[in-house]
Amino acid sequence: MTKKRKNTGAGLMTALMVIGMGATAFWAAADGYLYSGERDWTFLARYLLIVVLLVANYILTIPLHEAGHLVCGLRSGYRFSPFRVLSFLITREGAENRLTVKRSSLPGTAGQCLLAPPPWQEGNYPWLLYNLGGVLMDLLCALIGLGLWALCPRGTLISVFLIGWTGMHFTSALQNGIPLDNGLVVNDAGNIRVLRQSPEARRAFWCALNVSDALRTTRLRDMPEDWFPLPGDGEPLNVLSVQLFCNRLALAMDRQDFPAARALLERMEDPELPLPGVHRASAALERMYLDLLEQGPAADISLLREAAASRRPVKAASHDPEDLRQRKIVLNCLRALERTSLTLQRVRYAAALLKDRDPDWQDASLRAFEAIAADSPYAGDTAMERELLETARLRAEASAEAPDKAE
């Protein structure tokens, strides 16, 4: 995907939201004021109510859109796995698979429905209906809302609510039904387009869903090896097939095979690689962690510093506008991951130990780590992160003992 397309995708996604909300607000205003003789509200109060109803309806589109993925996925043979709305995630836990609510988020998304896929058979599996389910639910809800609006009296509160309901669901259908990449993640239609074109993307998507489901209870290093292939040489890369690099990097970190992780990072940092922003942020964190282990106080953790600062100007070694844009995306992702990322807190802890030698920062990072771990839905990921924390601690102890021995 070209740089221009990425920039256009982010702008178009925002434009669709602004146009959709504006058109819906105008429709609601016309319905409430032009067709009704009621004048018992003040002008400002009526408009404020319309805004409140629009926001409420936008929030309501999120669980319903994800429910569309859930229904269509279950219908296609998928199994229930984490289902997230905003930062609230419903998942299965324990041997008895009881449902529980956790907290999690992913920059660039308002919700997610990551189901466990059916078996891979004859080089394929049912992927279309599952990915299309959110848009289908948006359209169904919009049509139901439009039909109910046509039947109810004009200028009433329920009429204004139904207009907001219909407009926001049509807006969500457009935002997810037109292939777009906002620089952080790719929307449903973008995934469908890539899945239709690339057998390797279908394999990568299937592997990613299996890994996500298994992480609830299992370490990456204990999962089947064939869930972690790398893209084939000469194969064109896309936003889904590059997920194979991310999964393989996570596996190398869980095995503490740091040379393999370093080699993967070298490939993932290619600016031409169509890697979504959230994965670039994860790669940046792992590079800083490895640099801290190997270089100690000399490690460059400027991204970590800038992300911790409050909207400081973005710095970059290059003045290339694309380099600055990519750095800004990574910084925004790191800031968004502040309260949900174990990896971010692990890297901060390593920096406090190996570079700054700051006990207060060590304690703060550990407290933040434990707070996130207590609510994490992924026990396998949490166990890996704890081991990597311990590796940083042991490396710091070894570094502190080395000068003493020299003396």
- Whole-number percent of the chain with pLDDT over 70: 86
Residues 319 and 183 in one domain: no
158's CB contacts (< 8 A; 6+ apart) are 152
pLDDT cut 90: percent of the chain above it: 45
Alpha-carbon distance of 206 to 8, in angstroms, equals 28
pLDDT at 117 over 90: yes
pLDDT tens digits, one per residue of 345-401: 999 999 999 998 889 999 999 999 999 998 888 899 999 999 999 999 999 988 776
Does the residue 15 lie in any domain? yes
Structural domain includes residue 173: yes
Based on the fold, state whether residues 28 and 127 are members of the same structural domain: yes
Nearest 5°: the CA angle 375, 377, 380 is 115
In a domain, 232, yes or no: no
Total length of the chain: 407
Q: Which region among 17-21, 173-177, 192-196, 311-315 has the lowest average model confidence (pLDDT)?
A: 311-315
Q: Judge if 38 and 162 occupy the same domain.
A: yes
Instruction: Give the span between the Cα atoms of 240 and 121, in whole angstroms.
Output: 20
Question: Which of 36-45, 78-87, 182-191, 383-392 is modeled with the greatest confidence?
Answer: 383-392
Beta partners for residue 79, in sequence order: 116
Same domain, 56 and 180: yes
Angstrom distance (rounded) from CA 52 to CA 318: 44
User: What is the reported pLDDT for 183?
Assistant: 62
Any domain includes 253? no
User: Which residue range forms the structural domain that includes residue 307?
Assistant: 276-397
Q: What is the pLDDT of residue 313?
A: 46
pTM: 0.83
Average pLDDT for residues 127-137, to the nearest whole number? 95
Mean pLDDT in residue range 59-70: 94
Spell out the alpha helix ranges (H) of 178-309: 188-197, 199-214, 243-254, 258-268, 277-295, 302-308
Q: Strand 83-85's sheet: what is its strand order?
A: 98-103, 88-93, 83-85, 111-113
C-alpha distances in Å from residue 78, one per residue of 127, 131, 257: 10, 12, 33
Which one-letter amino acid corresponds to residue 69? Answer: H
* Confidence check: pLDDT of 274 > 70: yes
Q: Could you tell me which residues come within 8 angstroms of residue 148 by beta carbon, excluding any fewer than 6 positions away? A: 162
Contacts made by residues 248-252, CB under 8 angstroms, sequence distance 24+: 249/282, 249/283, 249/286, 250/220, 250/384, 251/220, 251/221, 251/223
| CA distances in angstroms from 358 to 51, 93, 323, 387, listed in the order given | 47, 37, 31, 21
Q: Are residues 182 and 304 in the same domain?
A: no
> Is residue 352 situated within a structural domain?
yes
Range in 118-127, 261-270, 310-319 the model is least confident about = 310-319
Asked if 168 and 283 sit in the same domain, the reply is no
Query: Residue 3's pLDDT is what?
Result: 46
Q: Is 216 part of a structural domain of the chain? A: no
C-alpha count within 13 angstroms, C-beta hemisphere, residue 222: 11
Looking at the structure, do residues 12 and 144 belong to the same domain, yes or no? yes
User: Last residue of a domain, which of 192, 219, 242?
Assistant: 192
Check pLDDT > 90 for residue 205.
Answer: yes
Looking at the structure, tell me whether residues 325 and 186 fall in a common domain. Answer: no
Lowest-pLDDT range of 138-147, 242-251, 279-288, 313-322: 313-322
281 plus 179 within the same structural domain: no
Domain total in the chain? 2
pLDDT, tens only, 145-200: 999 999 988 778 888 889 999 999 999 999 999 988 766 678 899 999 999 988 88
Kindly state whether residue 97 falls inside one of the protein's structural domains: yes
| CA dist list (Å): 228 to 13, 46, 88, 209, 256 | 32, 55, 28, 12, 16
Q: Which of 162, 150, 156, 167 is nearest to 32 (CA)?
A: 156
Assign 1 a pLDDT band (cuts: 50, 70, 90). Answer: very low
Is it the case that residue 34 has pLDDT exceeding 50? no
Last residue of a domain, one of 192, 217, 237: 192
Mark which of 165, 192, 219 sits at the end of a domain: 192
CA dihedral 360, 362, 367, 370 (to 10 degrees): -170
276, two tokens: 């979504």
Same domain, 156 and 299: no
- Is the domain of 176 the same as that of 319? no
How far apart are alpha carbons 301 and 348 in whole angstroms? Answer: 9
Residue 379 lies in a domain: yes
Q: Is 87 exposed, middle or buried (0-12, 13-18, 19+ CB in 10 A)?
A: middle
Token representation of residue 15: 């434009």
Between CA 132 and CA 351 the distance in angstroms is: 43
Cα 163 to the center of its chain, rounded Å:
30
Same domain, 144 and 292: no
